[in-house]
Each structure stands twice: as structure tokens, then as C-alpha cells.
Amino acid sequence: AACGIVSLEKMVCRLAEDHERARRLGEACKNVPGMSPLPVPTNIVMVDTERPADEWQHKLEEVGVQCFSFAPHRLRFVTHRDVGDDEVSFAIEKISELGREFG
């Protein structure tokens, strides 16, 4: 909860940037085989996966993309002040590559 409090008290002016980057990531996941992103109203991207989420998480972490296996077939990605446009582009590239490998 501390992260949320800091965001609301000190980072409000840039929350829209985090949300836009999350939407961009979610939109890109729509084009990845085996992924179905949920609507992205905030900076949290939830993606349902055909393959086990922990497989996606492990493979993505190997190439430098952090995510969390939220459920057996759901991943969670989060954008924040340390995740800029370049990092989102990198994540999209690696997720797409892995989608082709898994597909």
C-alpha cells in the first residue's frame, strides 16, 4: 500500500503516463499468440495465458522482463516511474518473441 500512497501524494501528475504505457503494453499483448489481455484501466496489465503463467514468467525474466504469475494462467505486469517508453518497447519485443516461440 505504501507505493500507492506515494503515487497518490507525490506522483499524481505522472500517473497518466504510467496508465498510457500500461495500455500500450496491453494492446500489444492482444497480438501475441497465447495471450489475452484484460482491459487496462490503470498501470496494471493482467494477461490470461494459454500456457502456464509461471512458464511465461520464467522465460520473460530470463530475458529481462519482470512480471508476476498472478494465477495459474494469468500474468501481471506493472508500469511505474522506473518503466519508461524504452522499457515498454523492450518488454513488447520480448513478449512477442516468446509468443512466437510458444505458439
* Residues 24-72 pLDDT 10s: 999 999 999 999 999 999 999 999 999 999 999 999 999 999 999 999 9
pLDDT at 86: 97
pTM of the model: 0.88
Give the integer Cα–Cα distance in Å for 73 and 14: 31
Nearest to 100 by CA among 35, 22, 27: 35
The mean per-residue pLDDT over the stretch 60-88 comes to 96
Under a CB-based contact definition with an 8 Å cutoff, are residues 78 and 65 in contact? no
Per-residue pLDDT band for 14 (boundaries 50, 70, 90) equals confident
Report the pLDDT value the prediction gives residue 102, as an integer from 0 to 100. 87
> Is 90 exceeded by the pLDDT of residue 2?
no
